[in-house]
């Protein structure tokens, strides 16, 4: 087999600097998965084939990215490698050879010996993957203690050292803290420290950054790159083709439990052979980051549009929908509504002026106050989209809650259509609710799973006592049509729907009252890329057809670029940049914006869309990205493009 000879080379080249352990077995691939199949027992007694036929191989020191959407079997493959499959799952066929030893048939005892020392595992979600009642240091030291690599006296120091290697600042202090006292990014570094504590030759990382902000994601991935430079092989599971393209030597694309394509990043992104890969690339916002790009446009059926925008005589919903015209004669415009800043050169539906919000800090942290939102002024264009971008803790959600009048601002004003609504109460506030609606981040938590879709969609109408039962049902049907769901979905329960369908229902519910403004709080971040692209396209269509304005909250700049007209960048509660989306993306003014743009993954092959170069932070730091696939490859490793599908 040609693959073997190549792994020979790879093994020899890394063996010179890696531990003797690796050199011993360098003649074989480190891990070889051969026609793996994993089956689950379904709830109805049937069998679910999560992994049908997956073969892969990793040479020492190599990084292999496994890419796919939810349900592609990528996480199950990772779990099978560490033999930590969920209850009810079993390996139905195939073998997993780690240094020639089949993990599928290994004894529990042998697996215990291999885990941690042979294969390190970095789990998916840092916020739930550390024991909440144990100190960080103890959790890192545990791996060493289990395997007798350190005793009780030397383990703490080794743990601190491992935390340092994982890039955690101030490791001595962090080792004495509890997980809840650390941020998500720091916790992910702790998990990496746990995985590398015993210096295993292979690390399996299951979506190690999908729960993190882009800039943190970049730091974590840089850290993993550094490990690779030290000779550790990495199996990187990710849904993000951009991340895979930036970091991997080879990419494996998984769909429905099968490998559909394998190759170097340049091959996969440059000339994808499989239809599924092409779809994935087209849908990936980080790669196709242009406004409207990748968003297929559909026009609403005329009848639907008519049902939603104009009401006949006696239409109970007409008041609001009819009054959405740009002019609202009866209402006095507030003085000073047109702001002086650059972004206010358009007709605006919502304006926040000098909005400030502080939260008291716990006494244990010294008390005082934390400014969540600090003197933020921004405006949402009528029938357009303002995106608020920022990392977690930047105050974007608080800003949205203030705009919705769910949270009172400490200072500043909220102007809806030029009218100050910051002090609206009672009935006035209720009327306001008809004009501004919210779509939540998580469609799984935002819908009552036991309610039918009809009940959910008509709930706001019932709450405002609009229309008869029959009229409401008709409107629900029209709304479902508008969000491209079949009307038979009306009788389904929310729990029976997929994520994308649920978010459509949530959008339909938000549109039920015919609002002028939708506040969309990370509306696509819980969805797969292809679903994400569909929902974004739907939002663009609805805006074009219904003229509804969006306040779009997102941490994902790539998504923002596709949907927004103007963008406001928040950092620690302060507005650091605001302006037209193309201007902000092509010539960012604030350092922070540049940093955010540079952290978008997928720039390695998409070309310098952001116009800035990636600044390397370590020995394997990524230089200005051309099309060279080996920019982050250790110099002594073989070029990734020379490694064909090893066992296919």
Partner 1 sequence: MTRYLLRRLLQAVGVLWAAYTATFLILWALPGDPVRILAGSDATDLSDAQLDALRHELGLDRPLWLQYVDGIGQVLRGDLGRSIGSGRPVADLLAAALPSTLQITALGIVLAVLGGTGVAIAATLTRSRVLARVLLALPPVGVAVPGFWFGLLLIQWFSFQLRWLPALGDKTWTAAILPSIALALPSGAAIAQLLSKSLATTLREPYVDAVWAKGAGRFRVHFAHALRNAALPALTYTGVIVGGLLSGTVVTETVFSRSGIGRLTATAVTAQDIPIVQGVVLFAALVFVVVSLVVDLLYPLLDPRIRLAGQRSRDRARAAAGARGSASAPSSARAAHSHTELETTGVRP
In terms of CB distance, is 212 or 477 closer to partner 1?
Answer: 212
CB pairs under 8 A, 24+ apart, for 94-97? 94/33, 94/34, 94/35, 94/36, 94/37, 94/53, 94/54, 94/55, 95/32, 95/33, 95/34, 95/35, 95/36, 96/31, 96/32, 96/33, 96/34, 96/36, 97/28, 97/31, 97/32, 97/33, 97/34
Tell me the closest approach of the beta carbon of residue 283 to partner 1, in angstroms: 15
SS3 label, residue 236 = strand
Query: Stretches 409-417, 463-471, 523-531, 591-599: which one binds partner 1 (CB under 8 A)?
Result: 523-531
**127 lies in the binding site for partner 1 (CB under 8 A):** yes
Out of 131, 172, 331, 341, the only residue in the binding site for partner 1 (CB under 8 A) is 131
**279 lies in the binding site for partner 1 (CB under 8 A):** no
In terms of CB distance, is 243 or 478 closer to partner 1?
Answer: 243
- Give the C-alpha separation, 567 to 265, whole Å: 31
**173 lies in the binding site for partner 1 (CB under 8 A):** no
In terms of CB distance, is 114 or 575 closer to partner 1?
Answer: 114
Out of 186, 211, 558, 559, the only residue in the binding site for partner 1 (CB under 8 A) is 211
**445 lies in the binding site for partner 1 (CB under 8 A):** yes
**Residue count at the site for partner 1 (CB under 8 A)?**
70
Query: Stretches 7-15, 35-43, 267-275, 483-491: which one binds partner 1 (CB under 8 A)?
Result: 35-43
Query: Stretches 80-88, 290-298, 303-311, 603-611: which one binds partner 1 (CB under 8 A)?
Result: 80-88
SS3 label, residue 121 = strand
Binding mask 577-616 for partner 1 (x = CB under 8 A): ----------------------------------------
Query: Stretches 38-46, 214-222, 275-283, 613-621: which one binds partner 1 (CB under 8 A)?
Result: 38-46
Out of 169, 180, 275, 463, the only residue in the binding site for partner 1 (CB under 8 A) is 180
Tell me the closest approach of the beta carbon of residue 127 to partner 1, in angstroms: 5
Between CA 568 and CA 341, with CA 435 as vertex, the angle to 5 degrees is: 30
Between CA 162 and CA 257, with CA 67 as vertex, the angle to 5 degrees is: 115
**114 lies in the binding site for partner 1 (CB under 8 A):** yes
Tell me the closest approach of the beta carbon of residue 225 to partner 1, in angstroms: 22
Out of 126, 265, 390, 523, the only residue in the binding site for partner 1 (CB under 8 A) is 126
Tell me the closest approach of the beta carbon of residue 499 to partner 1, in angstroms: 5
- Give the C-alpha separation, 120 to 101, whole Å: 16
**210 lies in the binding site for partner 1 (CB under 8 A):** yes
**212 lies in the binding site for partner 1 (CB under 8 A):** yes
User: Token pair of 350, please?
Assistant: 């919502």
Q: Tell me the residue length of the chain.
A: 648
Tell me the closest approach of the beta carbon of residue 132 to partner 1, in angstroms: 6
Nearest to 189 by CA among 214, 224, 226: 224
In terms of CB distance, is 128 or 462 closer to partner 1?
Answer: 128
In whole angstroms, how far apart are CA 511 and each of 169, 244, 447, 484? 46, 37, 15, 13
Between CA 339 and CA 349, with CA 345 as vertex, the angle to 5 degrees is: 75
User: Token pair of 98, please?
Assistant: 């780690």
Residue 192: enclosing H or E segment and its boundaries? helix 184-196
Query: How is 553-581 classified by DSSP, letter by letter?
Result: EES-HHHHHHH-SEEEEEETTEEEEEEEH
**363 lies in the binding site for partner 1 (CB under 8 A):** yes
**91 lies in the binding site for partner 1 (CB under 8 A):** no
**88 lies in the binding site for partner 1 (CB under 8 A):** yes
In whole angstroms, how far apart are CA 374 and each of 352, 397, 409, 411? 12, 13, 10, 9
156-183 CB burial, b ≥16 within 10 A, e <16: bebbbebbbbbbbeebeebbeeebeebe
In terms of CB distance, is 120 or 263 closer to partner 1?
Answer: 120
**124 lies in the binding site for partner 1 (CB under 8 A):** yes
Tell me the closest approach of the beta carbon of residue 118 to partner 1, in angstroms: 9
Out of 156, 231, 285, 443, the only residue in the binding site for partner 1 (CB under 8 A) is 443
- Give the C-alpha separation, 34 to 49, whole Å: 16
Give the count of beta carbons closer than 10 Å to the beta carbon of residue 367.
Answer: 9
Beta bridge partners of 571: 574
Query: Stretches 204-212, 283-291, 417-425, 454-462: which one binds partner 1 (CB under 8 A)?
Result: 204-212
- Give the C-alpha separation, 229 to 61, whole Å: 7
Q: Which residues make Cβ contacts (< 8 Å) with residue 366, sequence separation at least 6?
A: none
Tell me the closest approach of the beta carbon of residue 86 to partner 1, in angstroms: 5
Contact footprint for partner 1 (CB under 8 A): 40, 42-43, 48, 50, 70-71, 73, 75-76, 82, 84, 86-89, 111-117, 120-121, 123-134, 142-143, 146-147, 178, 180, 183-184, 191, 194-195, 207, 210-212, 359-360, 362-364, 392-393, 441-445, 498-499, 525-528
């Amino acid at each position: 087999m040609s693959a073997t000879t190549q792994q020979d080379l790879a093994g020899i080249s890394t063996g010179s600097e890696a531990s003797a352990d690796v050199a011993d077995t360098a003649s074989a691939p480190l891990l070889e998965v051969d026609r793996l199949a994993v089956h689950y027992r379904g709830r109805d007694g049937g069998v679910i084939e999560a992994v049908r036929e997956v073969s892969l191989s990793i040479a020492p020191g190599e990084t292999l990215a496994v890419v796919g959407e939810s349900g592609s079997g990528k996480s199950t493959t990772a779990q099978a490698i560490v033999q930590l499959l969920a209850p009810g799952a079993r390996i139905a066929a195939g073998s997993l050879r780690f240094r020639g030893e089949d993990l599928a048939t290994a004894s529990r005892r042998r697996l215990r010996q291999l885990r941690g020392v042979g294969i390190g595992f970095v789990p998916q979600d840092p916020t739930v993957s550390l024991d909440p009642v144990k100190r960080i240091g103890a959790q890192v030291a545990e791996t060493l203690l289990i395997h007798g690599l350190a005793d009780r006296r030397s383990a703490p120091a080794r743990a601190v050292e491992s935390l340092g290697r994982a890039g955690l600042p101030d490791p001595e202090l962090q080792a004495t803290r509890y997980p809840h006292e650390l941020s998500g990014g720091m916790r992910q570094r702790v998990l990496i420290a746990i995985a590398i504590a015993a210096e295993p030759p292979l690390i399996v990382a299951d979506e190690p950054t999908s729960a993190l902000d882009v800039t943190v994601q970049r730091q974590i991935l840089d850290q993993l790159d550094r490990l690779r430079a030290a000779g550790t092989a990495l199996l990187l599971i990710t849904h993000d083709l951009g991340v895979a393209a930036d970091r991997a030597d080879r990419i494996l694309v998984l769909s429905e439990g099968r490998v559909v394509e394998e190759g170097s990043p340049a091959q996969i992104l440059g000339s994808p052979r499989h239809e599924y890969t092409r779809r994935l690339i087209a849908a990936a916002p980080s790669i196709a980051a242009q406004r409207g790009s990748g968003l297929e446009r559909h026009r609403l059926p005329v009848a639907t549009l008519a049902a939603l925008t104009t009401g006949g005589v006696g239409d109970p919903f007409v008041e609001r929908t009819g009054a959405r015209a740009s002019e609202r004669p009866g209402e006095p415009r507030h003085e000073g509504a047109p702001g002086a800043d650059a972004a206010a050169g358009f007709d605006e539906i919502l304006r926040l002026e000098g909005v400030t919000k502080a939260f008291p800090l716990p006494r244990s942290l010294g008390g005082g106050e934390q400014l969540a939102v600090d003197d933020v002024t921004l405006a949402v264009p009528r029938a357009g989209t303002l995106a608020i971008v920022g990392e977690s803790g930047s105050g974007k959600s608080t800003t949205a809650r203030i705009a919705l009048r769910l949270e009172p601002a400490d200072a500043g004003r909220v102007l809806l259509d030029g009218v100050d609504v910051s002090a609206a109460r009672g009935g006035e506030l209720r009327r306001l609710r008809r004009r501004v609606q919210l779509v939540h981040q998580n469609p799984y938590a935002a819908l009552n799973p036991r309610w039918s879709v009809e009940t959910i969609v008509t709930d706001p109408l019932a709450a405002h006592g609009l229309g008869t039962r029959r009229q409401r049902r008709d409107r629900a049907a029209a709304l479902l049509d508008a969000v491209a769901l079949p009307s038979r979905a009306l009788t389904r329960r929310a729990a029976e729907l997929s994520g994308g369908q649920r978010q459509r229902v949530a959008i339909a519910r938000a549109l039920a009252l015919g609002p002028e403004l939708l506040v969309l709080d990370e509306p696509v971040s819980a969805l797969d890329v292809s679903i994400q692209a569909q929902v974004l396209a739907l939002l663009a269509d609805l805006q074009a057809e219904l003229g509804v304005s969006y306040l779009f909250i997102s941490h994902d700049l790539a998504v923002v670029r596709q949907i927004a007209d103007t963008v406001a960048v928040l950092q620690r509660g302060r507005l650091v940049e605001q302006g037209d989306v193309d201007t902000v993306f092509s010539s960012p003014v604030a350092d922070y914006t540049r940093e955010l743009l540079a952290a978008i993954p997928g720039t390695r092959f998409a070309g310098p869309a952001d116009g800035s170069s990636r600044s390397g932070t370590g020995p394997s730091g990524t230089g200005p990205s051309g099309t060279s696939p080996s920019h982050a490859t250790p110099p002594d490793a073989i070029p990734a493009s020379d490694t064909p599908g090893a066992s296919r």
